[in-house]
Amino acid sequence: MGKLWKGLAVTSLSALTLMGVLAGCGEATDPGSASTTISSVSGMQTAAKKDSVVVALGSGGEPTGLDPCTSSWGHGTAPLIQSTLVEYTTDKQIRKDLASDYNMSSDGLVWTFHIRDDAKFTDGKQLTAKDVAFTFETAKQAQSSLDLTFMEKAVAVDENTVEITLNRPKATFIHTVASVGIVPEHAYSEGYATNPIGSGPYQFVEWKQGEQLLLTANEDYYGTKPSIKNVTLMFMEEDAALAAAKAGQVDIAVTSATLADTKIDGMKLVSISTMDNRGLTMPMQPAGSGTSVSGYPVGNDVTSDIAIRHALAYGIDREEIAKGALNGYADPCYSENDGAPWCNTEEVKVEYDLEKAKKILDDAGWVDTNGNGIRDKNGIEASFTALYPSGDSMRQSVGMSTAEQAKKLGIEIKIKGESWDDITKDQFTNAVIMGWGDSNPYVSYSLFHSAGKLKDDYYNPEGYHNPIVDAHLEKAVTALNTEESYKEFQLSQWDGTTGTAMHADCPWIWLVNARHLYFVRDGLEIGDQQLHPHGANWPLVENLKEWSWK
């Protein structure tokens, strides 16, 4: 424990010392001094509080690099250091940022963006259409977590206009655009990922990998200047973050449902709604149905029976899972995108009805002939394994709670932890306690279009294939306007006859959306948070430029 405290005190003091220098606070205490104490760190933080903030993110949230072209930096959330052409509003609508205007050609193939003329990189150079074209071409060549395989080219027409040509119409491209931070062509080099220049609301100061990332406000930012001038993002395990919060060393700390009831003087718990879902993927082919794309066995005789899937959809009390497994810090989940504007919200919901679930099984011939509490049919027991990544206590708890409820239906779910390497092989014959949640509606296409079935990427391991759903998803991604695109995504969930909804084809048993939980220092305002996607770390600071102290 002594080693933990020492590490926290030195790390925090180093960050706060630098913040004091940046803010013009004069000479700071030597972080190596033997007289340095936690109380002195806390005192320094209080003094700097009006324009500084220290955030404890989870250790797993540390980026692999700060280059949006070659890493996942800023994908789905604000890249902070770089600006994007468009950005998300709190309710997941798209609004202009670097782009003063944009339009799409009548055939959906050419997107034209007009770039504002008051944006500068932090080295003083003007941001132009050439930088935008360079960024998209570089990102395409890098083939990182951004999918730009459908982009043919990006060309600067003049200083303030860029044209991006696609090889096929893709309405969801605008969501990809929201994830691409623009980099400077003139200052882009091999070391950019660890020493980036951008035009965003914050400027890079220092990154001590494994410890912290330091940012300061970009005084030349074209938008409203951030109230928080100096930012320290620390990467910590949950227990360490809790200790730091108790010691007054951080202003906000990511926490979990198991720690959220801890009382900390001077801090409050903030609970954020999400579409960070957890559910069961359900293999939809009988056992022995060939192999996956990579040659792994496919099929399960129990999960492939739609009566089993429907019974679990209706017979699992999601409120009880939220309460029992996650201390109430979760909400019932009914789809891959609950709360998003492209979700068919009312049609995807199913009401908990234990008796209805039992009748579904009775009518389908699943009865307990052996008297052991597990139903069977044609000699096959209603028993299957649900995998979760070992070490993920939240998924384990959700799985155990689900399995306990399934017993009331006469269904046995065996919860088993495995490495992701083993899950990759076993996901085609077993259920998996999976989690998604994305700001880009294209994730629905990835999850449910038959083109992605039975691959190793975890999107469609259940092997779901419905030609009607495929058609809706294809229309959704090739639509020529957002409204039509969202309508088709909604119809893919339920069009009145079929769809991915649990009362329809039910390729997933959706369970809960985990709430994102943070201890927040009294007086710190973190603004209106968006509906958070998967992961509690970076969605939190999406609106960092809007944070302030009372």
HEC-encoded secondary structure of 144-178: CCCCCCCEEEEEEEECCEEEEEECCCCCCHHHHHC
The closest of 227, 230, 213 to 20, measured between CA atoms, is 230
Q: Which two tokens stand for residue 43?
A: 């005192």
Lowest-pLDDT range of 34-43, 148-157, 265-274, 369-378 = 34-43
Q: What's the confidence (pLDDT) of residue 65? A: 96
The closest of 104, 235, 105 to 177, measured between CA atoms, is 104
Instruction: Delineate the domains of the chain, giving CATH numbers in brackets.
Output: 63-208 (3.40.190.10), 277-513 (3.10.105.10)
Judged against a pLDDT cut of 80, whether residue 23 lies above it is answered with no
Judged against a pLDDT cut of 50, whether residue 27 lies above it is answered with no
Mean pLDDT of 486-510: 98
- Between 249 and 50, name the one with better pLDDT: 249
Q: What angle do CA 424, 425, 429 make, to 5 degrees?
A: 110
Judged against a pLDDT cut of 50, whether residue 194 lies above it is answered with yes
Rounded CA-CA distance 382/271 in Å is: 37
Lowest-pLDDT range of 19-23, 177-181, 429-433 = 19-23
Q: Which two tokens stand for residue 423?
A: 């899950």
Tens digit of each residue's pLDDT (9 = 90 or more) over 111-121:
999 999 999 99
Query: Where on the phi/psi map is residue 230: left (φ > 0), alpha (ψ -120 to 50), or beta?
Result: beta
Tens digit of each residue's pLDDT (9 = 90 or more) over 247-261:
999 999 999 999 999
The closest of 370, 366, 347 to 309, measured between CA atoms, is 366
Tens digit of each residue's pLDDT (9 = 90 or more) over 395-428:
999 999 999 999 999 999 999 999 999 999 999 9
* 92 three-state secondary structure: coil
Mean pLDDT of 287-309: 98
- Please, what is the average pLDDT of the chain? 91
Q: What's the confidence (pLDDT) of residue 49? A: 59
Tens digit of each residue's pLDDT (9 = 90 or more) over 198-228:
999 999 999 999 999 999 999 999 999 999 9
Rounded CA-CA distance 204/184 in Å is: 14
Whether the CB-CB separation of 156 and 132 falls below 8 Å is answered with yes
Mean pLDDT of 20-27: 34
Tens digit of each residue's pLDDT (9 = 90 or more) over 58-81:
988 899 999 999 999 998 888 999
